[in-house]
Amino acid sequence: MKVKIKRLDKELPLPRYETNGSVGFDFICRESVTIAPQTVGLIPANVIVETPPGYMLMVTLRSSTPRKRGLLIPHGVGVIDQDYCGEDDEIKIQVYNFTDSSVTIERGDKIAQGIFVRVARAEWGEVSEMGSRTRGGFGSTDA
């Protein structure tokens, strides 16, 4: 799949898949950022990506980021829509510093990964009842 991408800082490398089996490619921090304790910050990822039709670009942290850096994505994952690709649409990684100390991400650090995921748009078929199948409600498999 060919994907249009623009680097903002050409001295930093393009995102890349680290191994032949990698499903995600690493985003590189464009400039050093310090996130204060117990706050949300944005880390510039140095790229604007034109996500192909029929796909979304999912942004997740690298698996080592929470353990090594004390950061989480506050909403679990980031979703980059197909139309988020204008000149001002640099991908930024939103993170929450759950530690009691400031965390600095340095220019050039790998902080998150991107994964292209196929998507479809739903056509709603509204009904007045859902039928007789039921699982028992929210959390029912733990009952």
Q: Residue 44: inside a domain, yes or no?
A: yes
CA distance 51 to 80: 8
Q: At CA 142, angle to CA 137 and CA 143, rounded to 5?
A: 75
Q: Residue 100: inside a domain, yes or no?
A: yes
Average pLDDT of the residues in 5-11: 98
Among residues 115, 78, 93, the alpha carbon closest in space to that of 1 is found at 115
CATH number of 56's domain: 2.70.40.10
Q: Residue 139: inside a domain, yes or no?
A: no
Q: At CA 25, angle to CA 111 and CA 19, rounded to 5?
A: 115
- What is the extent of the structural domain holding 89? 4-15+22-120
Q: Residue 113: inside a domain, yes or no?
A: yes
The pLDDT of residue 3: 97
Is residue 40 predicted with pLDDT exceeding 80?
yes
Q: Residue 48: inside a domain, yes or no?
A: yes
Q: Residue 110: inside a domain, yes or no?
A: yes
pTM for the full model?
0.86
Overall number of domains in the chain: 1
Instruction: Tell me if residue 11 falls in helix, strand or coil.
Output: coil
Average pLDDT of the residues in 63-81: 92
Q: What percent of the chain has pLDDT over 70?
A: 93
Q: Residue 143: inside a domain, yes or no?
A: no
The pLDDT of residue 130: 84
Average pLDDT of the residues in 88-95: 97
